[in-house]
Structure 1
Amino acid sequence: MIVIMSKQIKFIAGPCVIESAELLDVVAAKLVDINKRLGTDIIFKASFDKANRTSIRSFRGPGIDKGLQMLSDVKSKYGLKILTDIHEAWQAEPTGEVCDVIQIPAFLCRQTDLLVAAAKTGRTVNIKKAQFLAGRDMRYPVEKAREAGAEEVWLTERGNMMGYGNLVVDFRNIADMKEIVPTVVMDCTHSVQRPDAAGGKTGGDRRFVPAMALAAKAFGATGYFFEVHPTPDEGLSDAANMLELNKLEGLIKELLKPTEG
């Protein structure tokens, strides 16, 4: 029997976008509670700017200045590690002053300047695999980040485009990416998206989130990413895909069960 200690598995969770300080407090308090009970070290995630929304009328977030201050407040108040994403190279330096992990969005994973800027902060860099790339192709973004000075690089699987308005996950990508870096995260909520399939916004189906997580575990994932919300249908971004906050602990318990082998 193989037993994996809970702190060796990376868990990332939080709302898709910063909607309000109150929402951040609710989610952060829940993550602290789960950490205490399960011995985990969940990293808090929220975006200060969703620069890749489908419609120009969609909510994007509070912006970098206010958003980083709000994330800094969460870090100070709750003692949680923080992850957020950047979309432009100039955002890396101020983000690195607050966040423990800087995330590179999937669409931008080949943007050299973005990868280099993130790497130069000295923070962990989490690179999400593009919807148009195979897992084995992620060695090149990793190479860029490492040559720019990144000491720790993670890769995240989030599915591939299948025709128009749909994603599928080839879980072999997890094994392929583990040959590149030791930490491969499964994005269990973005992988159930149906991009641009909901009339000017991204659709999806959160029912499949637990199955995505458990399948990724079977393929050897070493981390799991969940966007969560206390009332996801009321969320201002990725509403259809976010997991209900009250279901997170039960799913993490399932993922922490020893794998027989």
Structure 2
Amino acid sequence: MNTVQIKNITVGGQNPIALIAGPCVIEDAERTLAIGRAIKAIADRLHIPYIFKASYDKANRSSYNSFRGPGLKEGLQILAHIKKELDVPVVSDIHCITQIEAAAEVLDILQIPAFLCRQTDLVYEAARSGKVINVKKGQFLAPLDMKNVIAKIEEAGNKNILLTERGATFGYNNLVADFRALPIMRSLGYPVVFDATHSVQLPGGAGTTSSGQREFVPYLTRAAVATGIDVLFMEVHDNPPEAKSDGPNMLYIDQVEALLQDVLAIDTIVRKHK
């Protein structure tokens, strides 16, 4: 398996599990930094490599009037400040080719949203940046179909690839996490990420917004880690009910440490068999 270097963090192979976490969207600079600082303190206590995540723009919303974030310019300035203050790598979503150059100046990982994972030009041009590319598997794709996404990135000369599972959809405002997908995607030769909080999302489940089932995040997390994933992805907030995006499926900060202790215990066992 190819390992991937993200600043001073190596993921894949026999390396311990890493964490990507943060709020769904940048709501304001101070709160976003505070959430990142709280997560980093937990990760440091548990000696888990940590990568900060927040979106500068949530382009895929159920309603035109839904909050999207501060946008590219201001959002990247906030992420650059967080990166410096916390001394951690940062990741955010890109949605079109015109965002890549500016995003690559700040971000350590360019994330391709699930609905855009088949957009050849976006994937290829992102790969040409030389940055680590995290591709979320489309909810409509079989796990082995990700080999075609990998081929597009490799065609651009980039082998810094992460593959993320976030559930499959059959309509009816629900997602299903098929844990076979994780070892299948890992067999393609690159580190695999499990998105624990988006996997319990109920897309459009509240009519004009998505809903979610936060109570199932710990169960899916423990099951995914038992398959041998390389990175755990979760969105976290100090008060999810008042979050401006994905509140019903985000974890409270005070739930994170106990869950990560379980994650470490399971990962220690599983790494012997990777």
Q: Which runs of 5+ in 2 are unaligned?
A: 1-11
Letter in 2 for 1:48: Y
The one of 219, 222, 236 equivalent to 1:228 is 236
Question: Residues 210 and 5 from structure 1, CA distance in 2 versus in 1: closer, same or farther, beyond 3 angstroms?
Answer: farther
Quick check: 1:50–1:60 contact (8 Å CA) kept in 2? Answer: yes
Q: 1:207 corresponds to which residue?
A: 215
Cα displacement (A) at 1:10: 2.2
Greater mean alpha carbon deviation, residues 240-249 or residues 251-260: 251-260
What do the CA deviations read for 1:105-129 (whole angstroms, capped 9, x no partner)?
A: 0000000111112111111000000
Distance (whole Å) between structure 1 residues aligned to residue 14 and residue 74 of structure 2: 33
The answer as to whether partners of 1:7 and 1:39 remain within 8 angstroms in 2 is no
1:217-260: CA deviation from partner (whole Å, max 9, x where unpaired): 12221111000000011100001000111111211111111216
2:79 aligned residue (60, 71, 74)? 71
What is residue 4 of structure 2 aligned with on the other side? none
Q: Secondary structure at the match of 1:53?
A: coil
TM-score (norm 2): 0.91
CA RMSD, 1 decimal: 1.6
Structure 2 distance, partners of 1:193, 1:51, is 17
Shift of 1:140: 0.5
Offset, 1:151: 2.5
User: Could you report, residue by residue, the CA deviation over 1:192-217 in whole angstroms, capped at 9, with x for unpaired residues?
Assistant: 01111102000111001111111111
| Contact 1:125 1:152 (8 Å CA) reproduced | yes
Asked if 2 retains the 8 angstrom alpha-carbon contact of 1:226 and 1:242, the reply is: yes
Q: Show structure 1 runs of 4+ deviating over 6 A.
A: 4-7
> Unpaired segments of 5 or more residues in structure 1?
none
2:70 maps to which of 62, 66, 84: 62
| Contact 1:90/1:117 (8 A) holds in 2 | no
Corresponding pairs, count: 258
Letter in 2 for 1:202: S
SS of the residue corresponding to residue 8 of structure 1 reads coil
Give yes or no for contact 1:155–1:181 (8 Å, CA) kept in 2.
Answer: no
> Matched residues in 2 for 1:5 and 1:145: separation?
20
1:246 aligned residue: 254
Residue 164 of structure 1, CA deviation: 1.6
2:190 is the counterpart of 1:189: no
> Does 2:269 match 1:259?
yes
Partner of 1:141: 149
Identical columns (%): 47
Question: The residue matched to 1:236 in structure 2 has which SS?
Answer: coil
* Residue identity matched to 2:257: E
What is the CA-CA distance between 1:181 and the residue it aligns to?
3.0
TM-score, structure 1 as length reference: 0.95
Q: Distance in 1 between matches of 2:161 and 2:123?
A: 11
Pairing 1:33-52 to 2, within 5 Å after superposition: 33-52=41-60
Q: Which amino acid aligns with 1:177?
A: M
The answer for the alignment partner of 1:128 in structure 2 is: 136
- SS of 1:56's partner is coil
Q: Could you tell me which amino acid in structure 2 is paired with residue 234 of structure 1? A: E
Q: CA deviation at 1:7?
A: 6.3
Q: CA deviation at 1:96?
A: 0.8
The answer to whether structure 1 residue 100 and structure 2 residue 98 are counterparts is no
Q: Answer yes or no: is the 8 Å Cα contact 2:13–2:191 preserved in 1.
A: no
Tell me how far apart the structure 2 counterparts of residues 17 and 34 of structure 1 sit (CA, whole Å). Answer: 20
Are the counterparts in 1 of residues 97 and 126 from structure 2 also a CA contact under 8 Å? yes
Q: How far does the alpha carbon of each residue in 1:85-117 deviate from its partner, in whole angstroms, 9 at most, with x for none? A: 001011111111101111000000000111112
- Corresponding letter in the other structure for 2:136: K
Q: In the TM superposition, what is the alpha-carbon distance from 1:171 to its structure 2 partner?
A: 0.7
Corresponding residue number in structure 2 for 1:87: 95
Amino acid at match of 1:126: N
